Amino acid sequence: MRRRSVLLLVSGALAVAGVLVPSLAIKQSHGDTRITSVVVNGGRPIVLGPSGDVAFGFSITAEDDSGIGSVDGVGLWGSDYGALRSSAVTCTAKSATVSVCTGTSSVDVTRQQIYDDMAGSWYVQATAHGRDGDRRTETKAGTFGILKAGRLSSFGAPRAAPRGATISISGLLERAQWKTQQWAPSPDQTVRLEFCAKGCTTPQTVATVDSDGQGQFTARVRAEHTGTYTWVYPGTAWAEPLSSYAVQVTVR
């Protein structure tokens, strides 16, 4: 409850400063103004490690039959009261009716601008103004992802093995923990072990396992050919996909 109250107070302060908050009354839309596209960070998710900050840009494309005068009221919102501030937005006309408006924002883990439960999908709110007085406010004009960075390592594989022998290959999956600003084990996650024989172009999945409470996992496979083994983590809605370095096992 205390955190909720603090965040609500912060939201109130942002509203006084002129930054839109989703719970506040939205300006009424009218006319033929439209927001047709929103791209954040070039269409790529924003990936944050356990510390540091990331600056990113966004573009909002809007149209009106009389042309676009401005885009304002930009807010970047996530779950659990996540909120990031944007810079002023600059619009450039691409035609008599269409403008592309750009701005920047940033997120800093060390300044506690984001919490662990805010990882995942975020959205962009914006108001586009036509030159004829029309306007359109979209509370979810576009979406983007802020994901946790991770580390995926491989260990325990032998450098060589007799043909037909069963070998063990282990790994460790870690994720960024924004609260502690440390790397932490990532339990109960599914990873797959891929094998690529010497000269291959497409690896094959030879094992699928889940990480334990310490983020570790092990697969036992039969060594038939010389090649490389790589752990692959597909990622989730809140964590980036990862691949470990490839480990070569020579079969004799």
Are residues 218 and 169 both part of a single domain? Answer: yes
Question: What range defines the domain where residue 201 resides?
Answer: 150-251
Domain end point (choices 96, 120, 147): 147
Instruction: Please report the pLDDT score of residue 6 as a whole number.
Output: 34
CATH number at residue 111: 2.60.40.1930
Among 170, 208, 212, smallest CA distance to 187 is for 212
Domain end (from 147, 169, 186): 147
Both 9 and 65 in a single domain? yes
The amino acid present at 64, given as its one-letter code, is D
Q: What is the pLDDT of residue 48?
A: 97
Please report, for the domain that includes residue 168, its CATH number: 2.60.40.10
Residues 181 and 197 in one domain: yes
One domain, residues 52 and 130:
yes
pLDDT attached to residue 199 = 86
Tell me, what's the pLDDT at 7? 37
Q: Are residues 119 and 143 in the same domain?
A: yes
Whether 122 and 185 map to the same domain: the answer is no
* Predicted pLDDT at 58: 98
Of the three residues 110, 127, 147, the one that is the final residue of a domain is 147
Alpha-carbon 92 to chain mean position: 28
Q: Assess whether 105 and 173 both reside in one domain.
A: no
Convert the pLDDT of each residue in 22-74 to its tens digit: 434 355 788 999 999 999 999 999 999 999 899 999 999 999 999 999 999 99
- Tell me, yes or no, whether 96 and 119 share the same domain: yes
User: Which positions of the chain have pLDDT values less than 50?
Assistant: 1-25
Report the domain count for the chain. Answer: 2
Same domain, 54 and 141: yes
pLDDT over 90 for what percent of the chain?
Answer: 86
Pair 125, 43 in one domain: yes
At residue 188, the pLDDT reads 97
Residues 118 and 32 in one domain: yes
Q: Is residue 12 domain-shared with residue 92, that is, in the same domain?
A: yes
